[in-house]
Amino acid sequence: MTGTIPYWHVDAFAAAPFRGNQAAVMVLGEWLPDEVLQRIGEENNFAETAFLVRDETGEADWELRWFTPTSEVALCGHATLASGHVVLSDAERFGEGTRVTFRTRKAGVLEVVKAGEGYELALPVTLVERDSHPDLLAAIGFRGEVFVSWYGAEQTAIVALQSEAEVSGLAPDMAALRNIDLMAICTAPADEESDYDVVSRVFVPAWGVDEDSVTGSAHAALAPFWAERLGRRELRAHQASQRGGELTMRLEGEGKDQRAWLGGPCVTVVEGTFRL
């Protein structure tokens, strides 16, 4: 198989290069075989590579799929924001205005809109309930309350800690986490002097990423989780990874129609051609 694919390397939830979460965005004329998409994801070696194909059903503007270096995932927020940034930044090439929609295989239709100097992304919320998960707590290396998803994205767990310092100081057993097939979101209220309300770190070794830099899908769970506990539907969040990133979070709607709107800027750091 030979050919070329337009390629963008985007730092999502970042106002400047070298922060936020890296994503590759690749626009295809038609779908390639899944094994080729997976090999490209492995080659790029980012948390996610986003693949776009024009949607011919009329349900959305584009079809969208995401691949880690090891597998296809059901939902990825930062690579969706990066995809919106790519197509909304070049109206002459793609014909979009201030809003774009993406039809996905498991997460429904997702929407990205321009918002000030950045973008907002609407994701279906992930709701959690308290559960017992001693293996997860042992792998995290810290005692906390565990909440596991029951509606929304599959295989999500929130570990609630007491302080920002506890979140920042975590040193999980990655080998143990590789045997636990879920996204582990460790979170706490931010310090009073912080410019944000909540802090988190996200570990997904079972999906090929030890620690994710800034995770949109995790904040689809954190938005309703902290809105209930802090009594506010609009919050500011900081993901305390090595690269770090900030997001706005707001809830709209109720029940199964509820959406978490996640906001932040994006920066294109590489634009070029991927050759097969």
The catalytic site residues sit at 48
Specify the 3-state DSSP secondary structure of 177: helix
Helices 216-230/77-88 angle, 10° precision? 110
Task: Give, for 119, the enclosing helix (H) or strand (E).
Answer: strand 118-124
- Selection from 8, 22, 83 nearest residue 215 by Cα: 22
Continuous H helices in the chain: 34-44, 77-88, 91-94, 134-140, 164-168, 174-177, 216-230
Pairing of strands 127-131, 234-239: unpaired
